Amino acid sequence: MTFKRKPVITKKITRSDLITAVTRALNANFQYDGINSEYDTDCSDCDPGDYHRCCRITDFHIISIETKSIIDSIVDCFDIEHDRCRVTRLLTNDGALENADNYEPEIGGSYYGEELRSIKLCESTQSRLLEKICATIEAMQP
């Protein structure tokens, strides 16, 4: 089981450090913290005595998205409550985090066949949200 590490930001942070932290938060694995998914496995090509080591993941789909959990992990990058509220509002109003098509699974091989390694926001969605958050950060500067 992989747990994502939430970025920890101290008070005197540079804009560059904040953008790095937000980028990390947007690129996090939401498999265990925000995304509930299901998939089937096809073990039809496996040798019965091989303990299903050649199983393949099929029919992956997202059942539910806990957007509050995902938004909280992103706004944890911000120290000031007012900034956290602005970014929360931006992410909530954007709606991208609620759309299952904006997430992609990473499937990899293991000893027992294919396994789901992570579920992340697709790169285009990450880039678009980062751009919007950066514009918000600019607006927050004194």
State residue 1's pLDDT score. Answer: 47
Q: Which residue has the higher pLDDT, 128 or 50?
A: 128
Q: Is the pLDDT score of 105 beyond 90?
A: yes
pLDDT at 96 over 80: yes
Rounded to whole angstroms, how far apart are CA atoms 142 and 14?
13
Question: Would you place residue 65 in the very low, low, confident or very high pLDDT band (cuts 50, 70, 90)?
Answer: very high
Q: What percent of the chain has pLDDT over 70?
A: 86
Q: For the residues 78-107, what does the mean pLDDT come to?
A: 93
Q: Using alpha carbons, select from 67, 70, 68 the residue that is nearest to residue 98.
A: 67
Q: In whole numbers, what is the pLDDT of the chain averaged over residues?
A: 86
Tell me the per-residue pLDDT of 24-36, one tens digit each, with 9 for 90 and over: 999 999 999 899 9
SS (H, E, C) 84-130: HHHHHHHHHHHCHHHCHHHEEEEEEEECCEEEEEEEEECHHHHHHHH
CA 104 vs CA 5, 55, 65: distances in Å? 19, 20, 13
Domains of the chain, residue spans:
15-140
Give CA separation, 81 vs 9, 40, 60, 94, 99, in Å. Answer: 13, 42, 37, 20, 27
Residue 46, pLDDT score: 77
Q: Is the pTM of this model over 0.85?
A: no
